[in-house]
Structure 1
Amino acid sequence: MDDKCIMENILLTEKGVCDLFLHGTIESSTANVHQAFNTALNDSLCMQDELYKKMAQKGWYPTEQAEEQKIQKVKQKFSNSSSN
């Protein structure tokens, strides 16, 4: 298993952890439990961000620029929806 594959697996795991902590935060019944999940969620989001940045630096997580025309089309769609 190469480094890229390892990083992808870690990132996917971290995203899953974030999802679990988010639901734990939302569903918590007491302030203490809510705070514990919220802190864990924020820590996990920071780890996910660092993993993403390292992968992007190595070219392992490429992104593409959205076309301006598509952005304007989506903006128009939602501005029309909100006025109805």
Structure 2
Amino acid sequence: MEKEVTSMDDKNVMENILLLEKGVCDLYVHGVIESSTSNVHQTFSYALSDSLAMQDTLYDKMAAKGWYPTDRAEMTKVQAVKKKFQSMQG
């Protein structure tokens, strides 16, 4: 008898895939930073770009199902951070 996959199982699978993808992105970032030749740098850079796109797709699918809730930042906090970094530039 085959077990029916529930939404909770799907959520757990998606969360695990997203966590793995984030780990892969971290490795690729280090590959880009530490690469000694332009060919290696470019290869890691392309792999990172592909991984980031996959991560974005996973997030979008999870958010659409309500599995990745986010809080909106308060505008006053956003403005305070923006002001802080603008003052550091000039």
TM category (shorter chain) comes to 0.7 to 0.9
Identity of matched residues, %: 67
Partner of 2:24: 17
TM-score in terms of structure 1 length: 0.86
Report the Cα distance in structure 2 between the residues aligned to 1:44 and 1:6, rounded to whole angstroms: 17
Partner of 2:4: none
Gapped regions of structure 2 (runs ≥ 5): 1-7
Cα 1:46–1:79 shift into 2, 3 Å? closer
Report the Cα distance in structure 1 between the residues aligned to 2:30 and 2:57, rounded to whole angstroms: 22
The alignment status of 1:2 with 2:28, answered yes or no, reads no
Partner of 1:52: 59
Partner of 2:5: none
Report the Cα distance in structure 2 between the residues aligned to 1:78 and 1:69, rounded to whole angstroms: 14
TM-score in terms of structure 2 length: 0.81
Q: CA RMSD in A?
A: 1.6
Amino acid at match of 1:36: T
Of 70-79 and 47-56, the range deviating more from structure 2: 70-79
1:80, CA displacement in angstroms? 4.3
String of CA shifts for 1:33-83, please: whole Å, max 9, x gaps.
Answer: 111111111111111010000001001011111112222232333344455
Amino acid at match of 2:13: I
The alignment status of 1:27 with 2:37, answered yes or no, reads no
Aligned pairs, how many?
Answer: 83
Structure 2 SS opposite 1:62 = coil
